[in-house]
């Protein structure tokens, strides 16, 4: 247990969110004794998001577990630092070398209630307000949905069009929480990505954002990754 208490869990928010989306999970991990840091990625390009993660890792000491939600799976894939001992993907995208986020996101047909996404004049993609309740987190409370709308941060087209290089999941142990009721990233795509990574898969009947709607399950898979990789 002392090794676990010396570990840091870095959590990374996805598109249309910020670090507050991890709040229920952060509290649970802190109760377990983990040091937890939410990496503040700018969502301006994959390389700039990766650099933000690198800076966050540099601020920590000891072993690190990196967990990412949705788009942030691509950012998790850049965590090649030797102190990173495990990767956790939560309903997340995991491009292979040479692939983009868009390549894997659009691999399957969209859910009927998935948002119609298009960039604005500045090249940023916003989530339509109604889609937070219909697709982003259909199992969330009204209060959670209202807060998610209020704090949403758009993602740049550059973030989803930049190819990844040397994904970390090829050399590090990975865990994947598969969201069976996801309306944003098709569950079939999630399974394909998780199996391609040879990740340990935990599948649950949850929506796209279990950080909010099923935090015990997200905390559980991070705890499992830490206990397996660090003990």
Sequential pLDDT tens for the chain (231 residues): 445 668 999 999 999 999 999 999 999 999 999 999 999 999 999 999 999 999 999 999 999 999 999 999 999 999 999 999 999 999 999 999 999 999 999 999 999 999 999 999 999 999 999 999 999 999 999 999 999 999 999 999 999 999 999 999 999 999 999 999 999 999 999 999 999 999 999 999 999 999 999 999 999 999 999 999 987
List all residues 6 or more positions away from 74 whose beta carbon is below 8 Å from its beta carbon: 46, 49, 68, 93, 94, 95, 101, 164
Instruction: Confirm if 9 and 31 have CB atoms less than 8 A apart.
Output: no
Nearest partner of 134 among 118, 114, 159, 108, judged by Cα: 114
Torsion sign over Cα 68, 71, 77, 81: negative
CA torsion 182→184→188→194, rounded to 10°? -90
> How deeply is 14 buried, as exposed, middle or buried, from its count of CB atoms within 10 A (0-12, 13-18, 19+)?
buried
Strand partners, 66: 10, 87
pLDDT at residue number 3: 55
pTM for this one? Answer: 0.96
The candidate with the shortest Cα–Cα distance to 160, out of 88, 91, 72, is: 72
Q: Are 176 and 197 in contact (CB under 8 A)?
A: yes
Task: For residues 107 and 30, give the distance between their C-alpha atoms in angstroms, rounded to a whole number.
Answer: 36
Query: What was the pLDDT predicted at 4?
Result: 63
Contact 87, 158 (CB under 8 A): no
Q: How many CA atoms lie within 13 A of 128 on its CB side?
A: 11
Q: Is the Cβ–Cβ distance between 11 and 36 less than 8 Å?
A: yes
What is residue 1's predicted lDDT score, i.e. its pLDDT? 47
Task: Return the pLDDT at 5.
Answer: 63
Q: Which residues contact 127 (CB under 8 A, 6 or more apart)?
A: 15, 16, 115, 117, 136, 152, 154
Domains of the chain: 2-230 (3.40.50.1820)
């Amino acid at each position: 247990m002392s090794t676990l208490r010396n570990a840091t869990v870095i959590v990374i928010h996805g598109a249309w969110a910020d670090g507050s989306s991890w709040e229920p999970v952060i509290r649970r991990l802190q109760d377990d004794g983990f040091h937890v840091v939410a990496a503040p990625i700018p969502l301006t390009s994959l390389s700039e998001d990766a650099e933000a993660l690198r800076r966050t890792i540099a601020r920590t000491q000891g072993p690190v577990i990196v967990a990412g939600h949705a788009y942030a799976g691509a950012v998790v894939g850049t965590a090649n630092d030797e102190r990173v001992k495990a990767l956790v993907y939560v309903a997340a995208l995991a491009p292979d070398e040479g692939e983009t986020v868009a390549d894997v996101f659009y691999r399957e047909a969209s859910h009927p209630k998935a948002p119609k996404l298009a960039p604005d004049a500045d090249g940023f993609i916003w989530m339509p307000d109604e889609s937070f309740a219909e697709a982003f987190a259909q199992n969330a409370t009204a209060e959670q949905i209202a807060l998610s709308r209020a704090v949403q941060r758009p993602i740049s087209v550059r973030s989803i069009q930049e190819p990844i290089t040397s994904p970390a999941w090829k050399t590090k142990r990975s865990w994947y929480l598969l969201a069976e009721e996801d309306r944003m990233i098709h569950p079939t795509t999630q399974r394909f990505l998780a199996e391609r990574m040879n990740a340990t898969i935990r599948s649950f009947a949850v929506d796209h954002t279990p950080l909010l709607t099923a935090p015990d399950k997200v905390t559980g898979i991070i705890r499992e990754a830490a206990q397996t990789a660090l003990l």
